[in-house]
Structure 1
Amino acid sequence: MPKSLLIISRQAPWSGPGAREALDIVLAGGAFDLPIGLLFLDDGVWQLAPRQHATTLQQKDLSANLQALSLFGVDQVFACGFSIAERGLDPQDLGLDEVQLLETAQLSALIDRYDQVITL
């Protein structure tokens, strides 16, 4: 049985390659039926914000990758509710309907559920 993997994405989509790399790992894992989850934490929750203008920042838009998660069998997508609130985002406006909001106290239990964890 393959080991489960949790990717924790902590970078804003415009802060460097970390956000894209996290999504690439998740999509690749999903394509190979790996038990995989994705957690948006800290500035990583900015990836879920609607109406991003990636071309203005000379970045590639990540919204298509986010929308493809379910197509690749990735249905374990989480976001830290505190991180969202701290950045003034409205959970109702997030880019994915499948995102499960977690309280800070739930994060360690989530991480413990996975065999391996990668933070980007």
Structure 2
Amino acid sequence: MAKSLLLVSRQAPWSGPGAREALDIALAGGAFDLPIGMLFLDDGVFQLAPTQYPEAIQQKDLTANLQALPLFGVDSLYVAQRSLDERGLADTTLDLPVQCLDDAALRDLIDRYDLVITL
């Protein structure tokens, strides 16, 4: 049986390659039917914010990759409620349907997965 993998994406989409790499791993793993979840934590929650303008800072838009996650079988998407609150974001305005988790639920989530990779 395949081990489950939780990808923790902690970088904003414009702060370096971490956000893109997390999405690439999720899409590749999903293509091979691996049980994958994604947690958006800290500045990683900015990946889910609407109306981003990456071309203004000469970056590639990650929206299409994010929207493709469910198509590749990556349906377990989570976000840290504390990270949203600290950055003034509301879960009702995010571009993807995600499950918001408090700190206790985050610990439980991490314990449920066999492997955890933080990017």
Do the structures match in fold with TM over 0.5?
A: yes
Deviations 1:71-91 (A, max 9, x none): 001110000011001100121
Counting matched residue pairs gives: 119
Give the match for residue 38 of structure 1. Answer: 38
Return structure 1 stretches of 4+ with deviation > 2 angstroms.
Answer: none
For 2:118, give the aligned amino acid.
T
Give the match for residue 52 of structure 2. Answer: 52
Give 1:114 shift.
Answer: 0.5
Give the match for residue 89 of structure 2. Answer: 89
For 1:24, give the aligned amino acid.
D
Give 1:19 shift.
Answer: 0.3
Give the match for residue 70 of structure 2. Answer: 70
Give 1:23 shift.
Answer: 0.4
Give the match for residue 79 of structure 2. Answer: 79
Q: Distance in 2 between matches of 1:55 and 1:112?
A: 38
Query: Unaligned stretches of 5+ in structure 1?
Result: none
Give the match for residue 110 of structure 2. Answer: 111
What TM-score comes out, normalization by structure 1 length?
Answer: 0.97
RMSD: 0.6
Give 1:104 shift.
Answer: 1.3
Query: Unaligned stretches of 5+ in structure 2?
Result: none
- What is the identity percentage for the equivalent residue pairs of Structure 1 and Structure 2? 70
Deviations 1:87-118 (A, max 9, x none): 00121110102x11101111111001000000
What TM-score comes out, normalization by structure 2 length?
Answer: 0.98
Q: Distance in 1 between matches of 2:44 and 2:14?
A: 10
Give 1:28 shift.
Answer: 0.5
